[in-house]
Amino acid sequence: VHKSKGLEFKIVFLIAATDSAFPGRRRGEVKIPKELLKEPKSFTQATHEAEMRRLFYVACTRAKEELYISYPLEVTATGRPIKRSRFIDELADAIDLPLIRAEVSASSQINVGALAAARAAEAVFLKTARGNDSYINDIEDESYADIVAKELADYFNFKKSRALISATDKAAVLKKFDDIIGRLINSPYSQVVKAEQFTAVILNKASESLAESGEAASKPVSYLDFLPVNEAGGMTLSVSDIILYQKCPLAFKFKYIYQIPMVPSPEADFGIFIHNVLQRFHSAYPRSEATLEKLLSIYDKGVKVRRLGRTTAEKQLIDKGRHALQLYLPDFLAAEGEPVFFEREFNWRIKNHRIRGRVDRADKLGDGTYELIDYKSGKSWQPKQIREDLQLSIYSLAVRQSWEIEPTLLSYYFLMENKKMPALRTPEELEVAQALVLSACEDILTEKFAPKVDFINCQYCDCRVLCPATEV
């Protein structure tokens, strides 16, 4: 409601206008120094109610032609009836407002607990399952009811997938959730929802088991058909796949088997853009022809093509990116080694497995050996994180075989801070890294996908709404 100030709409729906929301209870004592106030003010419940009455007025006056105020009649979990907002009564008395009880058919009623659960997941969906732009585009030609129905159905599909992971009676789970989704959505969305990519795999597997016998729960489901298994019977993975599995096997399962889209943060997306700018610059100009004007020209064109700068956050990122490139180029021109490879791919064979990746930059040193450099667009790491990170260790092992060169230096280049930090690796540490890669590949083949609980990683994981570990 606060964000609607100054806006107007032809029709406005003010939903959930209960007394617990308007006015609700004041949230504790607000202490403001008296010298900051024009006149003394007592923050009491009466003061809070007056503030909320003004907010309710703002909501109501956003409507140009029609205003619909609604509130639920169901009793709460405590058994107490839900009271409508006292402001509705005040408004009804003032303008003779008609109060109409809406009759809802039994077939269209939705479980109150399910709605509450869906509301709890709302923030997650808006940030992960749908990007802001695509979400806005999606809803332009849809009614509000359609939008709510789709979001609820998405939520129950997530819940259905999670329930099927550990369910013993998959037939019962499918029946229960399909019944809920069927009551949530009518044609055409009912068919679309069942075909959503992130549930298609598990639903197909469950259906196949049910078709083969009436005892789906007794048959374990294998996911090998949905994993990147090569002709030699091993895994074909990227370096980022290995790192994701090391971080959390269950997150790897969600990505590859359920194919749940992972939405990058604006900062991560901008980091990819910076990588692309450098790739295009270095592929177009050798070091002898590289100038800041040419680099910033590619950068500015990329900003326009991607239509960046529409928000304050994007404008700040653009300024930081430009400043970072201005610092990067002089260091690049003065580098002791000769840059010879940019964004070069490798394909590492380790037993029957294949690990593919791409090195951002490789400089040939004076002694004929090489320095591998990986660009990072985020904040610089602590020494412990650099020491434990697996990425450059894999690069070092891979290029020895794939490129037949000898890397003696490994470095992370944090572009936004113009800081290059060495990542020294002993032969023993490289052996440990190789063993970790082999172990990850074998564990994936044997379908070991237990969640790895970590406070920081779990907090920012795209799959946290699905993960059973978050319910512990």
* Weakest mean pLDDT among 75-89, 91-105, 313-327, 445-459: 91-105
* Weakest mean pLDDT among 223-237, 385-399, 425-439: 223-237
* Weakest mean pLDDT among 74-78, 123-127, 175-179: 123-127
Q: What is the model's pLDDT at position 237?
A: 94
Contact 31, 42 (CB under 8 A): no
Percent of residues, the chain, with pLDDT higher than 70:
66
Q: What is the model's pLDDT at position 212?
A: 44
CA neighbor of 394 nearest in space, from 432, 450, 421, 360: 432
Q: Which residue has the higher pLDDT, 186 or 170?
A: 170
Contact 414, 373 (CB under 8 A): no
Helices within 195-291 (DSSP H only):
197-212, 239-247, 249-256, 266-284
**Helix H or strand E encompassing 9:** strand 9-14
CA distance 171 to 356: 40
Pairing of strands 338-350, 9-14: unpaired
CA distance 106 to 214: 31
pLDDT mean over 198-222:
43
Average pLDDT taken over every residue of the chain: 76
CA distance 152 to 156: 6
CA distance 114 to 133: 27
- Name the amino acid, one letter, at 92: A
pLDDT over 50 (residue 428): yes
Q: Which residue has the higher pLDDT, 184 or 370?
A: 370
Delineate the domains of the chain, giving CATH numbers in brackets.
2-103 (3.30.160.800), 112-220 (no CATH), 266-445 (3.90.320.10)
Contact 9, 59 (CB under 8 A): no
pLDDT over 90 (residue 78): no
SS3 state at 146: helix
Q: Name the percent of the chain in helix, strand, coil, to the closest 5.
A: 55, 15, 35
User: How far are the Cα atoms of 312, 322, 339, 411 from residue 342, in angstroms, in the given order?
Assistant: 32, 20, 8, 14
